[in-house]
Structure 1
Amino acid sequence: MKTEQDAFSDRLRAALRQAGMSESPAELVRLLARFGGEPVSQQAVSGWLNGRAMPRQGNMRALAKMLSIEPQQLQFGDDKRVREARGEWRMNPHDQLAIEAFLKLPASQRKLVRSLIDELGKQHATGKAAKRGR
């Protein structure tokens, strides 16, 4: 019979896969702090991932925010659907942080970043078209 910690571990791992993230304790420790979590060791995160422990509520909320799911879903595993980040789409935490940093930039710098993204998108599309033409 699965323990509460085992079930949580399964939900956490599934949410990480769905977000396109690795199960690296070092990465999770670093990201957890950026999403409002309390400092923890890599060993603590490893315990969460391996069904030996569960995070405290503050870190449960930070993990849920990072993974764009409701804290209750992560902790208890209900049937509710994953909420969409920003209400529109699901994104991995690294992209979410980049977008949040972008939104804090002054208007002139946001315009420059948008121009760069447009140019990179054009180059990517051109490269894909060239590969199809071979």
Structure 2
Amino acid sequence: MSTSTETQAFALRLRQALESCGVRLSPTVVANEFNLRYWGRSITPHTARNWLLGKAIPTQDKLRVLADWLQVGPDELRFGQAALTPKVSEGLDAGGALSMVDREMLSRYLSLSLHYRKTVRDVVSALVLASQAQKPD
């Protein structure tokens, strides 16, 4: 994949992630929201514009901040779905593959719009927090 194609694909994924989180596709908004979360040197709206238009890809540290903010994996944001690999040990069968039930659930999840995927992630995060709160120390 050429550099131009890679940056365009990244920009598309970034715009989709922003839209799924309800963030306006404005370089100023993106720069301001990003800078609230990033402890390094601030970015300018021009930098955010370059990300949104597919003229540049952020460095790894900035990519991680974007991914955390937008609740997507950094690899998914940077490289897309093909880069995703399951990192779960539970739900794997004896051969190390996901069980049929889990594959079906993931297939259904991936068929959802980005907005609904975010909702599912939010629900799962809330359930994990509630589960951890119920565990005795």
Q: Normalising to structure 1: TM-score of the pair? A: 0.58
Secondary structure at 1:88 match in 2: helix
- Note the aligned Cα RMSD (angstroms): 2.4
| Deviations 1:10-37 (CA, angstroms, capped at 9, x unpaired) | 0000111111111111111111122235
Quick one: distance in 2 between partners of 1:63 and 1:69?
A: 8
The runs of 5 or more residues in structure 1 that have no matched partner are: 90-134
| Deviations 1:83-103 (CA, angstroms, capped at 9, x unpaired) | 7247139xxxxxxxxxxxxxx
Confirm or deny that 1:60 pairs with 2:63.
yes
How many residue pairs are counted as aligned between the two chains?
Answer: 89
Larger Rg, first or second structure (1 or 2): 1
Seq. identity, %? 29
Which residue type is aligned with residue 77 of structure 2?
L
The runs of 5 or more residues in structure 2 that have no matched partner are: 85-109, 111-116, 128-137
Instruction: Tell me the CA shift for residue 41 of structure 1.
Output: 1.1
Secondary structure at 2:30 match in 1: helix
Distance of aligned partners of 1:4 and 1:54 in 2 relative to their CA distance in 1, 3 Å threshold: same
Distance of aligned partners of 1:60 and 1:32 in 2 relative to their CA distance in 1, 3 Å threshold: same
